[in-house]
A = this chain, B = another copy of it.
Amino acid sequence: MRRNARSIGIAVVGCGTVGGASSLILSRDRELLRRRSGLDLALKYIVDRNFDNARRLGLDPGLFQTDLAAALEDPDVSVVVELVGGTTVARQIIEKALQAGKNVVTANKALLAVAGPELLALARKNRVVLSFEASCGGGIPIIRALYDGLLANRIDALYGIVNGTCNYILTRMIGTGSAYRDALAEAQRDGLAEADPTLDVSGLDSAHKLAILASLAFGKKIDFSSIPVSGIDRLETMDVEYGSRLGYVVKLLAMASRLNGGLCLRVRPVFISREHPLAWVSGPFNAVSVYGHATGHTMYYGRGAGGSPTASAVVADICSVGLGTQKILFRTLGIWADRAPRAKQVSTDEVESRFYLRFMVEDTVGVLARIAASLGRHGISISSVVQNETVGTPETRPVAAVVIITHKAKEKNVRKALGAIRSLDVVTREPVCIHIMDEHEEQF
């Protein structure tokens, strides 16, 4: 082991869950990190307005600093770690740091999803780097897999379970038959969902990560605002259970695949067959499946959130910046969003998949025939039908659930068919439509 490890001065900005855990690792594990990385990672500033969490973690009060400028003016600081979150103050912090000639490491997916190319360009202009392993998949080194491990591949598709809160809620719904509301309440009680869970359960957080992952995987600029997003907040227990009986597990998936010369991105709950390894990603864990033209299917699994796992990614980035490898990759590779062409983002209309459809209908003669006829008119053929439950009280007319699994069909045709079926007088409620994700075909 070399004695004179190069020293890398670090300022951590924002000492919440991830900032606190990162500061703790840098302080407590300095000798371990020196042995492994050959670098002396010297935490010099913890910048925040409030140091309650920092004190609770026993971090050195000598590092506490309320003035960002002090850290930016210190020539010994070469890496600024932005862990404030959000898109306003955080953006200013990152911009100031880059302009001050500091390398920036961040976990800020919301900001990178909308302003990635501009920030990367600003880093390039200032001859520093912007690293963001911690923005997606917590402790899973998925960003590196895309820009390094899979570099020899044309990536054809990427499917990710990238929101631990949603996956925890869905795992509870599947395992215990809980309703969405109850599973959410349990997640909140267990500290796995925010008091306001909108960003997670709406699918928006997954879409942020999808924009970042897809940009790197496909080497394109992604327009975040045109990604269609559905969340898990309207999922019904009944569908989770029907799916389960049919051999499927419901997951909120962030998906990107090549389609008709363009790129089709979407976030939505889908049914995955139990044969697929993504189906077994449970609780707060995340996983991303990536299909490369040479490597075929690879998958990356781990804790997608939490202080310590995310801090693992933050510190890995600090090491790469300190070693200088990140600078080489940032200068040389052709996949960074600021240099990449704009993706041709195509709508989901042409995506072909199988579908799970559920209709609540009046339990009268000929209903199924009318639904089947309507599907047929739109070119959708039926693979299987389940109609085995009648619900309703003596006062109401009996209502049955008709569940149909289609063969492969284009989404636009299914949408049209559902429009027609919705208006049938025997259909009592809005139809439910869930995509079934079959294994992506490997291209060798």
Instruction: Report A278 CB to chain B, min CB distance, Å.
Output: 10
| Contact residues in B for A21 (Cβ distance below 8 Å) | 294
Of the listed stretches A45-53, A307-315, A379-387, chain B binds A307-315
In the complex, the answer to whether A148 meets B320 with C-beta atoms within 8 Å is: yes
Distance of A332 Cα from B322 Cα, bound (Å):
11
Which B residues are CB-close (under 8 A) to A319?
151-152
A168 CB, min distance to chain B CBs, angstroms: 15
Given contacts A301-B277, A328-B323, contact A309 B334 (CB under 8 A): no
Chain B residues near A150 (CB-CB < 8 A): 141, 312, 316
- For residue A70, CB closer than 8 A to chain B, the reply is no
Residue A400 at the B interface, CB < 8 A? no
A100 at the interface (CB under 8 A from B): no
A312 touches B152 (CB 8 A): yes
Given A323-B328, A325-B325, A302 contacting B308 (CB threshold 8 A): no
Q: Do A281 and B277 have beta carbons less than 8 Å apart?
A: yes
Q: Please tell me which stretch of A29-37, A59-67, A229-237, A260-268 contacts chain B, meaning at least 4 of its Cβ atoms lie within 8 angstroms of it.
A: A29-37
* Chain A residues within CB distance 8 Å of chain B: 1-2, 21, 25, 29, 32-39, 133, 138-141, 144-145, 148-154, 219, 277, 279-281, 285, 287, 292, 294-303, 306, 308-309, 311-316, 319-320, 323-325, 328-329, 331-335, 339, 444
Partner of A332, one of B39, B133, B303, B316: B39
Contact between B38 and A316, CB atoms less than 8 A apart: no
Q: Report yes or no: A37 in contact with B328, Cβ–Cβ below 8 A.
A: no
In the assembly, how many copies of this chain are there? 2
Contact A292 B312 (CB under 8 A): yes
Given contacts A294-B25, A295-B308, A301-B301, contact A316 B148 (CB under 8 A): yes
Pick the residue among B144, B294, B308 that contacts A315 (CB under 8 A): B294
- Inside 8 A of A313's CB, which chain B residues have their CB? 149, 295
Can you add 18 more A-B contacts, CB < 8 Å, to A139-B294, A152-B314, A295-B309? Answer: A1-B339, A35-B334, A36-B335, A144-B148, A149-B313, A151-B315, A152-B312, A152-B319, A153-B312, A280-B280, A285-B297, A294-B312, A296-B302, A296-B303, A296-B309, A298-B300, A299-B299, A323-B332
Q: Once bound together, how far apart are the Cα atoms of A36 and B152, in whole Å? A: 8
> Across the interface, do A302 and B297 meet the contact criterion of CB distance under 8 Å?
yes
Q: Are B334 and A324 in contact (CB under 8 A)?
A: no
Q: How far is the CA of A277 from the CA of B285 in the complex (A)?
A: 11
A295→B300 contact, CB < 8 A:
no
Supposing A36-B335, A219-B36, A335-B36 touch, asked if A140 and B294 sit within 8 A by C-beta, the answer is no
| Interfacial chain B residues near A306, Cβ < 8 Å | 296
Nearest to A317 among chain B residues (CB) is B152
User: Which of chain B's residues have a CB closer than 8 A to the CB of A323?
Assistant: 328-329, 332
Cα distance, A285 to B298, chains bound together (Å): 9
Q: 27 A-B pairs, CB-CB below 8 angstroms? A: A2-B334, A29-B152, A35-B334, A36-B151, A38-B331, A38-B333, A133-B149, A139-B294, A139-B296, A140-B298, A141-B298, A144-B144, A144-B145, A148-B316, A152-B312, A277-B277, A294-B315, A295-B302, A295-B303, A295-B313, A296-B302, A296-B309, A297-B303, A299-B300, A299-B301, A300-B301, A328-B328
